[in-house]
Amino acid sequence: MSVMAPLVEVTLRGLLGRRRTILLALLAGLPVLIALLIRFSGGRPDADRILDTLVVRTVMPLVALIVGTAAIGSEIDDGTAVYLLIKPIARWRVAASKILVAAGLTSVMVVPAVVLTGLLLGSRGGDTATTVVGYGIACLIGGSAYAAAFVALSLFTTRALLLGLAYVLIWEGVLSGLLAGTKFLSIRQATLGLAAALGVDVPGSEPLAPAVSVFVLVAVLAGALALASWRLSRFEIRGGD
């Protein structure tokens, strides 16, 4: 862990540049802001719908996408990754550090937004605590899975942001709704399935079974770590000529 500490520190400092931090704060603050508007305009309490539509489907994947693709992708782009790769550190530790930071930062941004939004609006069914805890835990794990997947993706392509966005908007947003059989390939569906397993009344179609949801999320986390480690162990940095 002692070698991972400086990796985590430098990644965090690199990620929390002024513009990226403002963007992340605005994204994470959006559901809270909407909850405040609904609350003070006398709207009907419905945390479940806002948390499902706005947090799980939009804010969580976008925050994870921004953080995950930048955790090592920006260092590869600007050339500073070389200083991490010319050290006597097993490459899986580098990959694990990047995933840890991306997952942690996504959770730090998303989970408080879930809690505040849930508490401000209250659950439609009346059990606000179950909704907040259920969505909170599901987003903690689901957001980490998204972040890990995007970290791994950024090691395979320089267009990770674009491809990640396509996955979230097209695959998860459109195709997995139309093709029910592909639900198990969706981190979003697994997150909602986990929330449902924790007692949340998830709106919309039938969620994934709890065991399948947990399996998908764990597989994404483990698979992303394995792929990122494998890729880093063979990662080449070209010379200038």
Partner 1 sequence: MSDEMVPPPPTGTTALPGATQAAPAPPPLAPPAAGPAPVQAPAPSTPAALEVDHVSRWYGNVVAVNDISFGLGAGVTGLLGPNGAGKSTLLHLMAGLLAPSAGRVMVEGESAWRRPEMYRHVGLVPERETIHAFLSGREFARLNARLQGVADPDAAAARAIATVDLTDAADRPIGTYSKGMRQRAKLAGALVHDPRILLLDEPFNGMDPRQRLHMMSLLRTMAAQGRTILFSSHILEEVERLADSVLVVYAGRLAAAGDFRSIRRLMTDRPHTYTVRSSDDRRLAAALMADQSVFGAELVSGHVAIRTADYDAFTRTLPRVARDAAVTLFEVRPTDDSLESVFSYLVRR
Judged by the rule CB under 8 A, the positions of this chain that interact with partner 1 are 2-3, 5-7, 9-10, 13-14, 17, 78-80, 82-91, 233-234, 236-241
DSSP string of 137-188? Answer: HHHHHHHHHHHHHHHHHHTT-TTHHHHHHHIIIIIIIIIHHH-GGGGGG-HH
- Comparison of 149 and 155: residue with beta carbon closer to partner 1: 155
Q: Which residue type, as a one-letter code, is found at position 225?
A: L
- Comparison of 14 and 203: residue with beta carbon closer to partner 1: 14
Minimum CB–partner distance for residue 226 and partner 1 (Å) = 16
Minimum CB–partner distance for residue 231 and partner 1 (Å) = 12
What single DSSP character describes residue 105?
H
Per-residue tokens: 41: 């305009």
- Comparison of 7 and 54: residue with beta carbon closer to partner 1: 7
Minimum CB–partner distance for residue 154 and partner 1 (Å) = 17
- Comparison of 79 and 126: residue with beta carbon closer to partner 1: 79
CA angle, 71 then 68 then 140, to 5°? 125
- Please state, in angstroms and rounded to a whole number, the distance separating the CA atoms of residues 84 and 91: 9
Minimum CB–partner distance for residue 20 and partner 1 (Å) = 12
Q: Which residue shows structure tokens 């840890």?
A: 100
Minimum CB–partner distance for residue 103 and partner 1 (Å) = 21
Whole-Å CA distances, 29 to 33, 36, 59, 171: 6, 10, 9, 25
Sign of CA dihedral 51, 53, 56, 62: negative
- Comparison of 13 and 44: residue with beta carbon closer to partner 1: 13
- Comparison of 7 and 139: residue with beta carbon closer to partner 1: 7
Q: How deeply is 180 buried, as exposed, middle or buried, from its count of CB atoms within 10 A (0-12, 13-18, 19+)?
A: exposed
Minimum CB–partner distance for residue 88 and partner 1 (Å) = 5
The SS3 of residue 234 is coil
